[in-house]
Structure 1
Amino acid sequence: MAMTLEQLQEKYPGAPADAFGDSPELANQLATLIIAGKKVASCGALHSWQAQETRPEPGGYSIILNGQQQPVCVIRTTGLFLTRFDRVTPEMAMLEGEGDLSLDYWQQEHQRFFQSAGYFHTEMELVFETFQLVEVV
C-alpha cells in the first residue's frame, strides 16, 4: 500500500511537497525520470526560490508529487549552488535528465518555462539543485 502524503510528512518532518514542471503532464514525466534515476538535478529562478516558504537545503528531504498531486517519491538534496542561465554547462543540463540530455534542449525548454512564468533573461540567476532518490512510494 502506498504511503499517503500525511504519512510521508510524518516520516520526513518539514519536507516540502511539490511537483516539478508547469503542467500535470510534465510533472508526471519528470517524476518518472527521477524514479528511473535519470533526473538527479533541477533548477529554478533565484527570486522564486527565495519566495518559497519551505526551501530545499543540503541534506534535506523533499516529497515529489506527480501531476495529480499524489506523492510518488522522496529525494534528498545533495547540493545547491547559484549560477546564471547562460552559464549552465552541458554536464549540468545532462544531470537534469530531460529530452535528449543536450544543453540545446535544456536551454529551449527552460527558456519556455521561464517565459511562461513571465520572467526570462539569459543572465537570470538560478538555484541549481542536485539530489538523490531516497524512496519510491
Structure 2
Amino acid sequence: MSLDTWNGLEAHMFGDGPDLANELLALILEGKKTATCWDAAEGLKGSEVGKSWAVKDGAGVVRCVLQTTELTQRRFSDVDAAFAFAEGEDDRTLASWRRGHESYFTRNGGFAPDMLLNCERFRLVQIVGEGAEQ
C-alpha cells in the first residue's frame, strides 16, 4: 500500500499497481473485502483499532473511508479460511488466498511460509466521489 493524506486522514492505495488497486477497491465498495494484510516487517503503517483512513483508486483519487475494527499478527501459514474469505479476493477460499498472497509477497520483497503478517479487519465508513450518495 502506498501512503499519503486526505482531509487529515492517512490515504492508502491497496496492492502494488493501479490495476490491483482498482480491483481491490471495487471489492471493498461491493462489500466483499473487509480485511487486508501486509508483511509485519513493514510496521503497522499507522494502523490501530478505531482509526479511520482513506483508500485511493489506481489513479490516486480517494474513493472511500474505512475504519480499522481489528488488528492482529499471525504467520502466513496460520491465516485461516475465515480471514481469507474476509479478504474477498478470487474465489475467497484459503487455497486461492495462499496462492495470490504468496505471489504478491514474492514479487514485493520476499515470501516465507512462516513470515509474520499484520492482519487487519475494517468496515466501510463512507464512499467518496464516484458512487457516493448525494
- TM-score norm. by structure 2 comes to 0.89
CA deviation after TM superposition for structure 1 residue 103, in Å: 0.7
CA deviation after TM superposition for structure 1 residue 18, in Å: 1.0
- TM-score norm. by structure 1 comes to 0.87
For 1:130, the aligned partner's letter is R
Q: What per-residue deviation string (whole Å, max 9, x for no partner) do you get for residues 83-116 of structure 1?
A: 0000001111000000000111100111111111
For 1:66, the aligned partner's letter is D
User: For residue 42 of structure 1, what is the aligned residue in structure 2?
Assistant: 36
1:78 to 48, 69, 73: 69
Pairs within 5 Å for 1:97-112:
97-112=88-103
Pairs within 5 Å for 1:1-137:
8-9=6-7, 13=8, 15-50=9-44, 52=45, 55-137=46-128
CA separation in 1, counterparts of 2:29 and 2:47? 19
Residue correspondences, number: 125
Which structure 2 residue ranges, 5 or more long, are not aligned? 129-134
Native 8 Å contact 1:16 1:56 kept in 2: no
CA separation in 1, counterparts of 2:53 and 2:96? 26
CA separation in 2, counterparts of 1:61 and 1:49? 18
CA separation in 2, counterparts of 1:96 and 1:57? 18
Which structure 1 residue ranges, 5 or more long, are not aligned? none
CA deviation after TM superposition for structure 1 residue 28, in Å: 0.3
CA separation in 2, counterparts of 1:99 and 1:128? 18
Native 8 Å contact 1:39 1:96 kept in 2: yes
For 1:40, the aligned partner's letter is T
SS in structure 2 at match of 1:43:
strand
CA deviation after TM superposition for structure 1 residue 49, in Å: 2.6
Q: Report percent identity of matched pairs.
A: 36
Native 8 Å contact 1:58 1:78 kept in 2: yes
Native 8 Å contact 1:78 1:131 kept in 2: yes
